[in-house]
Amino acid sequence: MSRFRGILQASLNATKKALTWNVEDLVPPTERFIFNFNSKDELKKWHLYSDSEYGGIFSGNLSLDFIEGAKLKINRSGFCGMRSKKFDGFIDLDPYDTIALKVKGDGRCYISTIYTENWVNSPGQEEDNSWQAFVFVPKDNWYIAKIPLARYLPTWRGNVIDAEMEMNPSRVVGMSLSVNAEGGLPGARTGAGDFKLEIDWIKALRT
């Protein structure tokens, strides 16, 4: 009888341990690092882009001028940004509801972009879906900006799409940060001139 009780108790202990492990495993952490800008390898995951590709100027200074003989004819200038290289696969942010960035800036308004897998994937529409939200970065002090995923709007080449669309946070393929000379939130610095944004990390939060 004692042997049976020992087996039963061992079985119960094993079951309890298994259930406890499964519960902990099913609950994701409340935050997840997406990028931690603390090494050269981390920086290699990003690349710069700007309107210099189309006729503007980028050297740490936003310019509204145009270069004669540019490859493409455009009617506005003054933007630049940094974009992560496409992830190897996807990042699943479905358990989270907020993007947090630890940044130090210059009083300008920056644009945070999340790229998700394109559900349409039709001819002429091969680009990833992009979702954008403004980030106001106060001048000279480190600041943690928190942006609810629900605040990101669907965009197409910088313009908000007037359509009912929902982000699929389980299929994130990349991110970017950019700045325009004009536009943004009220009170933010605008116009041509120098800009500077320092980034410590980017996280996903479950609030």
Domain that holds residue 86: 30-205
Q: State the pLDDT at residue 50.
A: 62
The pair phi, psi for residue 65, each rounded to 5°, is -80, 165
Q: CA dist 65 to 49, 109, 192, Å?
A: 17, 21, 9
Q: Element (H or E) spanning 24, and its range? A: helix 2-26
Q: State the pLDDT at residue 72.
A: 36
Q: State the pLDDT at residue 45.
A: 85
Q: State the pLDDT at residue 203.
A: 96
Indicate whether 137 belongs to any domain.
Answer: yes
Indicate whether 8 belongs to any domain.
Answer: no
Interval 74-84: pLDDT, tens: 334 467 788 88
Q: State the pLDDT at residue 94.
A: 94
Q: How many CA atoms lie within 13 A of 9 on its CB side?
A: 6
What is the C-alpha separation between 91 and 27, in angstroms, rounded? 17
Indicate whether 65 belongs to any domain.
Answer: yes
Say which DSSP state 207 is in: -
Q: What is the pTM of this model?
A: 0.73
Indicate whether 22 belongs to any domain.
Answer: no
What is the C-alpha separation between 158 and 119, in angstroms, rounded? 19
Indicate whether 68 belongs to any domain.
Answer: yes
DSSP 3-state of 32: strand
The domain tally of the chain equals 1
Indicate whether 20 belongs to any domain.
Answer: no
Indicate whether 16 belongs to any domain.
Answer: no
Interval 102-134: pLDDT, tens: 998 888 889 999 999 876 554 555 678 899 999
- The β-bridge partners of 31 are 205
Residues of the chain with pLDDT under 70: 1-26, 49-78, 119-126
DSSP 3-state of 188: coil
What is the C-alpha separation between 113 and 4, in angstroms, rounded? 61
